[in-house]
Amino acid sequence: MFRTRQIALLLTLSVTVNAASQETEERDNPLEGYSERAISLQKRTFETFRDLKSYSDDGIVEMKTDAAFGRMNEGQKITFAMAGGRRFRLDTPTHTVASDGRELTVYMKNAQRYQVKPIEEDIAKQIEEYLGLAGMNIAVGQIMLSPKPAKLFTSIFKELDVAGSERVGEDDCAVLEGKMNASEIPMVTSDTPARVYLRKRDGLIRRVEIDLSEMMKKQMEQAPGGMSVSEFKVVYDVRDIRVNEPLEESRLAFSPPSSAKKVEKFYGGMMGGGGPGAQQFELSGHDAPAFDLPAHGGERVSLGDYRGHVVLLHFGVGGFGFQQSDRSIEKLEEIQRDYADKGVHVIYVHTGSNADKLIEDLGHEPGVVVALDPDRATAGEYFEEQWSFGAVLIDKEGVVQGRYAGFITDPTTKAMRSDLDKLLGGETLPSAKKMTAEEIDEAFEQRTGAFTMPGGAEPVNEDRLKEAWSVRASGGNIAFSSGGSKYDDRVFWVRDKGRVLGISPAGETLIELPIQKATADMFGQETFAVGKLGSNWGVVYMSTIAGDEQQPGGWRPPKAAVLTATDAEGHELWKVELKAENMQLPQHLALGDVDGRPGDEVIFFHGGAVCVLDSKGEVLVRKPCPGWASWLIVADRDRDEQAEIYVRSQYKLTRLDYER
């Protein structure tokens, strides 16, 4: 949902920015597909564009929906001001883009990073460089400062017609109704309705509404839980529009804060949140991770089988999002047809348990190989988050050459085709350059900042909390050591992909322990605990596995959890599968020496009981826990060399002592 809001924000921002363009050639650029009434009405708009010397506004982007999405339901403020054609400033909750007429400054607020570059002749193309990093609609970047406002309307909207008049605030507006241009814009379909409100007195845009209700109904029906949504609109309300008035210098001038870091490069995800398509930066220029997966039709597909061929590998989204997956496959089919005789193979990896539903919705047998990765194990090798989606371009030697974030749109396929042509022509793509350790660290710092949600609480004395250190962590929980050796209870653990790291209070990595991950369901629970398994250190990792009953959208509720214990070298010690009991899966995993003997026990909730396993995975105790147990801690707080179990249930906190 966050991604949808950002896309809409950028789309509607571009509408306002174009309103400030000075040059116009609309008389030679008809609005194809628009009604005669719509074209006649917009002539007034283009006349206003020609006369603009300065422009400013304050806008609000908000969701009109009966679904609960927290702060995203609240309006997000954006401001824009422009004078003299090339001097402007655009502020959103996440970033600032400003030009002083000579240099362009792009500042990512949450990541505290900025760039400064000379303005190029084609400033619209230059802006595209930054917006393209977000995995957003590249066309928006191209038209953001276009001298041809008609191009904006035809790139974003289609089939506009006059639908009457309506008053918005203090403004009498003409209303244009049409649809979104789905070929250019992710997350919308070709029948997504849109309304554009033009002020009658000058033709400037006063409001834009994008009606995603039907799309979101289908998405939510397919998502786990089947959430009901009857209305879902993204509305951009342009307020306090000022035309050809003196602008205060504060509306245009911008300098990044002294705490911000100047960088030479923004990495993928910088401007757009870094979520879908967040591939591992380490893959650039390295061998693509091998895989061998079942394929639609009953066969298997292995990356090794394509050695000597160029491979375009796209990971689709499972569980929900079929409309976008359909469109992605169709665009991939076009690439496969056009490049088949050049030795290019396109593989669509479906990362869910609902491939049959996907093919059914597609309406025909796919024209690309469809591999099945239901537990997302392969996706986890290509992405930092297993739920991510995007594409990877692999050369004949099996080396990763390019990465493309998110769903596949027309601008994305254009970039793919360009890269394919270069690669087939013998070029090495710039994106294939191996990154240094410093570059990788910087990329993750940028992405971490880009993930921060806008619109949080106002900071108070924030400088009093100083960051002492940080370490990379890709998911899971934080676990504290149970003590008993030099890795005592001051050490804590975080998961970083296929390992857990033991971190000291000073931020030093003291030990790395590999883990063997069990098959995980996308919406299931994953957690781990570290301790003494017998005489040596080890990790117990818990993850859920999908059940057999398929829900709407292909989601299968978890039927069991798997506990997998590995030693310090990553060798499996034991594995236990625990079925759901009373609709409850095991949860709140901990390790600790509760019996006073060498080695730790494994403690967790399961089926309304506190369960204790020995270090070999054998059941020692199952004790029913009255009330709904909500938390569990294992610790030796009385320092008697035998840990206690503390259980937080619905109405009380209970200490449990193990007796032999």
Per-residue pLDDT tens for 144-162?
344 444 555 566 677 778 8
Quote the pLDDT of residue 91.
Answer: 82
Same domain flag for 491 and 582? yes
User: Which DSSP category does 551 fall into?
Assistant: P
pLDDT at 551 (0 to 100): 58
Beta-ladder partners of 602: 591, 613
**pLDDT classification of 23: cutoffs 50, 70, 90:** very low
Instruction: Report the pLDDT value the prediction gives residue 180, as an integer from 0 to 100.
Output: 79
Decide if pLDDT at 341 tops 90: yes
Q: Which amino acid is at 92?
A: T
Q: Is 453 a member of any domain? A: no
The H-assigned helical ranges of 134-274 are 138-143, 149-156, 213-222, 249-252
> What is the β-pairing status of strands 54-65 and 232-243?
antiparallel
Residues 184 and 129 occupy one common structural domain: yes
**Inter-residue contact 620 to 602 (CB < 8 Å):** no
Q: Is residue 110 part of a domain?
A: no
Do 184 and 331 share a domain, yes or no?
no
Q: Tell me whether residue 502 is in a domain.
A: yes
Please check whether residues 136 and 16 belong to one and the same domain: yes
Percent above pLDDT 90 for the chain: 17
pLDDT tens digits, one per residue of 313-331:
998 865 444 445 556 788 8
pLDDT at 312 over 90: yes
Asked if residue 251 belongs to a domain, the reply is no
266 is a domain residue: no
Task: Of 238-242, 273-277, 493-497, give the lowest mean pLDDT range.
Answer: 273-277
* Chosen domain end from 184, 217, 244: 244
Averaged pLDDT for residues 628-656: 83
Give CA–CA dist 98/571, Å, rounded.
54
Q: Report if residue 264 sits inside a domain.
A: no
Within-domain flag for 466: no
pLDDT score at 228 = 67
- Least Cα distance to 17 among 52, 66, 63 occurs for 52
Give the closest residue to 160 by CA, choosing from 140, 172, 147, 178: 178
* Helix, strand, coil fractions of the chain, as percent rounded to 5: 25, 35, 40
What is the DSSP secondary-structure string of 573-605? EEEEEEE-BTTB--EEEEEE--SSSSS-EEEEE
In a domain, 150, yes or no: yes
pLDDT score at 507: 86
In the chain, the number of structural domains is: 3
- Residues 175/165, Cβ–Cβ less than 8 Å: yes
Specify whether 437 is located in the same domain as 525: no
In this prediction, residue 25 carries a pLDDT of: 38
Beta bridge partners of 581: 584
Whether 309 and 404 map to the same domain: the answer is yes
Q: Are residues 503 and 434 in the same domain?
A: no
pLDDT, one tens digit per residue, over 384-399 is 655 567 889 999 999 9
> Is 428 found in the same domain as 518?
no
Same domain, 185 and 238: yes
**Do 504 and 578 share a domain, yes or no?**
yes
234 and 372 share one domain: no
The sheet carrying 609-613 orders its strands as: 587-592, 601-606, 609-613, 619-624
- Closest by Cα among 247, 249, 262 to 105: 262
- Residues 6 or more apart whose Cβ sits within 8 Å of residue 486: none
> For the domain that residue 209 is a member of, what is the CATH number?
2.50.20
Range of the domain at 379: 281-441
Average pLDDT over residues 395-404: 90
- Which residue, 227, 244, 261, sits at the end of a domain? 244
Average pLDDT, the chain: 75
CATH number at residue 392: 3.40.30.10
Model pLDDT for residues 456-476, shown as the tens digit of each residue: 556 677 778 877 887 777 655
Choose the weakest-confidence range: 12-16, 255-259, 355-359: 12-16
Average pLDDT for 225-249: 80
Answer yes or no: do 356 and 479 share one domain.
no
Say what the pTM is.
0.71
Lowest mean pLDDT among 48-62, 415-429, 482-496: 482-496
